[in-house]
């Protein structure tokens, strides 16, 4: 009984899964998957992480640095101290003591003790030190600003990579939908042509039309089949490229949610203003300019005094020393007074580079304004084409029906029917292209304004 129940449960589950509707993948879902799978975006994120650690490193320069060092060395001979030279002491001839050697009877001479060996040919050292910068002429704060601007610039670069990837995915998504609809149009053309072929064959069998009409429609049918093969191949290529962006097998099934025709755009000034404030390229260039200006200040800070607190504890393993360990503390300063203009010229070089990036910013700003205008006009054009081509569909359908009806009743020619079929297919193809051009131009408009 348990086995029967299990089999029944499995059957119910299978039927339920088969009855579930196959929902198409939305564009937002496609973006999410592509962003997670793209290696270029992951590389940009790693660069951002690197810059983030660099900023933390620059900020850490404001705090003390603690060091622990030590060593152990062996000397080739025991060191000797020259008291007379090293300590500035002299031993004149009058330095003889009135004490005599009980064996030899000679008086002691202090000059004999002007040199003596330490009696040790090995030396061990250990040191703990700390240093805290007090004044660096703005070098540390400048390095923090450089790192912060560099991080911001890489973040905008990462944002640019993401937006370009989303537009690429959007274009692939639209191309699949466009190709699918083109296949439908091609299949419908082939269907109507085959219906006309059937009409011509019936009329030919009755002796009402010439054989030339039958041959002409068969040639048209074969040409339609050829176009259908090519369009189906275009669909497979579009799906393969889309699957590559999704990090899926090239031949994986593709089921996409349909996109609707967007509404009319707002005023051009609205999009132009958005582009100026949201385009990552402009943000990245601005951050680069600020980073270079801060770098110039860091370079100039090298001409200012560098002051800091130092202190620590040192231990010397030497038998001759009464106190082997001692602490120390003080203030250290260094000042590069003159370097023949090397620092100044280096700073001027960085400033010149910053000015070149600013010029690039100005040019990019103008080019982005032109780009927004071009996409905005293309978007309006495609919407207008949608309206015009939509009106032509009904006329094209009616024209084909009238031409076929006239031909069946002997009032029209075969050429009129084939021409009507060509015009009808062209009307549907034009409408299909206009619809998906409008959808894609809407995505381009969002991309050039920095919204996606």
Average pLDDT estimate for 362-379: 94
Residue 97 has pLDDT above 90, yes or no: no
Q: Which residues of 101-129 are buried (b: 16+ CB within 10 A; e: fewer)?
A: eeeeeeeeeeeeebeeeeeeeeeeebeeb
Digit-coded pLDDT (tens) for 125-141:
899 999 989 888 888 99
pLDDT at position 316, please? 84
Residues 167 and 444: beta-carbon distance below 8 Å: yes
Pairwise CA distance, residues 368 & 271, whole Å: 11
Determine which helix (DSSP H) or strand (DSSP E) holds 316, and give its type and residue range: strand 306-317
User: Residues 208-246: pLDDT tens digits?
Assistant: 888 998 999 999 999 999 999 999 999 999 999 999 999
56 phi and psi angles, rounded to 5 deg: -60, -40
Instruction: Say whether 260 sits in a helix, a strand or coil.
Output: coil
Return the structure tokens found at 227.
């176009």
Strand (E) or helix (H) holding 43: helix 39-60
Average pLDDT over the chain, rounded to whole? Answer: 85
What was the pLDDT predicted at 102?
A: 60
Other C-beta atoms closer than 10 Å to the C-beta of 272 total 18
Q: Give the whole-angstrom CA distance, residue 57 versus residue 177.
A: 50
| Polymer length of the chain | 452
Coil, helix or strand at residue 72: strand
Is residue 423 within 8 Å of residue 399, measured between CB atoms? Answer: yes
Query: What residues contact 15, with CB distance under 8 A and at least 6 apart?
Result: none
pLDDT range class, residue 283, cuts 50, 70, 90: very high
Q: Quick one: pLDDT band at residue 6, thresholds 50, 70, 90?
A: very low
- pLDDT digit string, tens, across residues 378-387: 999 999 999 9
Nearest by Cα to 315 from 304, 303, 327, 306: 327
Q: What span, in angstroms and rounded, lies between the C-alpha atoms of 172 and 166?
A: 10
| Angle, CA 252 vertex, CA 246 and CA 253 arms, to 5° | 105
CA 415 – CA 215 distance, rounded (Å): 12
Which pLDDT tens digit goes with each residue over 145-195?
A: 999 999 999 999 999 999 999 999 999 999 999 999 999 999 999 999 999
| H/E element, 416 | helix 414-448
pLDDT at 430: 95
Tokens of 91: 């031993």
Largest CA-CA distance found in the chain, in angstroms, rounded: 162
Place of tokens 């049918």: 221
Q: What is the pLDDT of residue 136?
A: 87
Compute the distance between CA of residue 415 and CA of residue 203 in angstroms, rounded to an integer.
15
* Section 190-207 average pLDDT: 90
Radius of gyration of the chain (CA): 44
pLDDT for residue 117: 60
Higher-confidence residue of 339 and 76: namely 339
Question: What count of other Cβ atoms lies within 10 Å of the Cβ of residue 362?
Answer: 10
Structure tokens at 103: 């064996």
pLDDT at 111: 54
Dihedral-angle region of residue 210 (phi above 0 means left; psi in -120 to 50 means alpha; beta otherwise) = beta
* Stretch among 89-98, 287-296, 443-452 having the lowest mean pLDDT: 89-98
Query: pLDDT tens-digit profile of 38-87?
Result: 999 999 999 999 999 999 999 998 999 999 998 888 877 777 766 655 55
Q: What pLDDT was estimated at residue 96?
A: 47
Alpha helices per DSSP H over 206-279? 211-245, 268-278
Interior angle at CA 364, CA 361 and CA 369, nearest 5: 130
**DSSP conformation class of 167:** H
Q: Say how far residue 235 (Cα) sits from the centre of its chain.
A: 30
- Which token pair is 129? 């030190």
CA terminus-to-terminus distance, the chain: 58
Does pLDDT of 1 surpass 50? no
Coil, strand, or helix at residue 408? helix
Q: Which pLDDT value is given to residue 81?
A: 65
Beta bridge partners of 310: 131, 330
């Amino acid at each position: 009984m348990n086995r029967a129940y299990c089999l029944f449960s499995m059957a119910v589950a299978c039927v339920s899964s088969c009855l579930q509707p196959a929902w198409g993948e939305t564009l937002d879902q496609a973006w999410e998957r592509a962003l997670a799978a793209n290696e270029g975006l992951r590389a940009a994120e790693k660069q951002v992480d690197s810059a983030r650690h660099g900023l933390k490193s620059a900020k850490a320069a404001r705090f003390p640095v603690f060091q622990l060092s030590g060593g152990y060395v062996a000397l080739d001979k025991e060191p000797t101290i020259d008291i007379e030279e090293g300590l500035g002491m002299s031993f004149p001839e009058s330095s003889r003591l009135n004490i005599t050697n009980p064996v030899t009877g000679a008086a002691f001479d202090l000059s004999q003790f002007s040199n003596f060996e330490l009696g040790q040919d090995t030396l061990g050292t250990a040191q703990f030190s700390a240093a805290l910068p007090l004044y660096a002429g703005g070098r540390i704060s400048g390095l923090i600003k450089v790192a912060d601007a560099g991080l911001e610039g890489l973040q905008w670069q990462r944002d640019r990579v993401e937006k370009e990837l989303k537009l690429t995915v959007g274009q692939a998504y639209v191309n699949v939908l466009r190709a699918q609809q083109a296949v439908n149009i091609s299949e419908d053309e082939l269907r109507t042509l085959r219906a006309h072929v059937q009409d011509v064959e019936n009329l030919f069998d009755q002796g009402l039309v010439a054989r030339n009409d039958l041959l002409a429609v068969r040639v048209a049918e074969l040409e339609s089949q050829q176009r259908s093969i090519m369009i189906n191949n275009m669909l497979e290529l579009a799906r393969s490229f889309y699957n590559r962006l999704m990090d899926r097998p090239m031949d994986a099934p593709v089921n996409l949610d349909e996109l609707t025709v967007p509404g009319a755009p707002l005023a051009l000034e609205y999009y132009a203003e958005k582009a100026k404030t949201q385009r990552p390229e402009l943000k990245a260039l601005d951050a680069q300019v600020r980073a270079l200006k801060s770098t110039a200040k860091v370079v100039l800070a090298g001409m200012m005094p560098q002051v800091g607190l130092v202190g620590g504890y040192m231990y010397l393993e030497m038998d001759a020393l009464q106190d082997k360990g001692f602490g120390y503390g003080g203030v250290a300063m260094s000042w590069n007074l003159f370097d023949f203009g090397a620092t100044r010229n280096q700073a001027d070089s960085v400033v010149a580079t910053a000015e070149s990036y600013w010029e690039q910013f100005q040019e990019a700003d103008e080019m982005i304004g032109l780009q927004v205008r071009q996409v905005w006009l293309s978007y309006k054009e495609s919407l207008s084409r949608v309206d015009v081509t939509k009106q032509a569909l009904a006329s094209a359908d009616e024209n084909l029906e009238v031409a076929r009806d006239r031909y069946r009743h002997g009032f029209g020619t075969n050429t009129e029917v084939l021409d009507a079929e060509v015009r009808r297919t062209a009307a549907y193809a034009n409408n299909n292209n206009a619809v998906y051009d409008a959808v894609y131009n809407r995505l381009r408009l969002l991309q050039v304004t920095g919204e996606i």
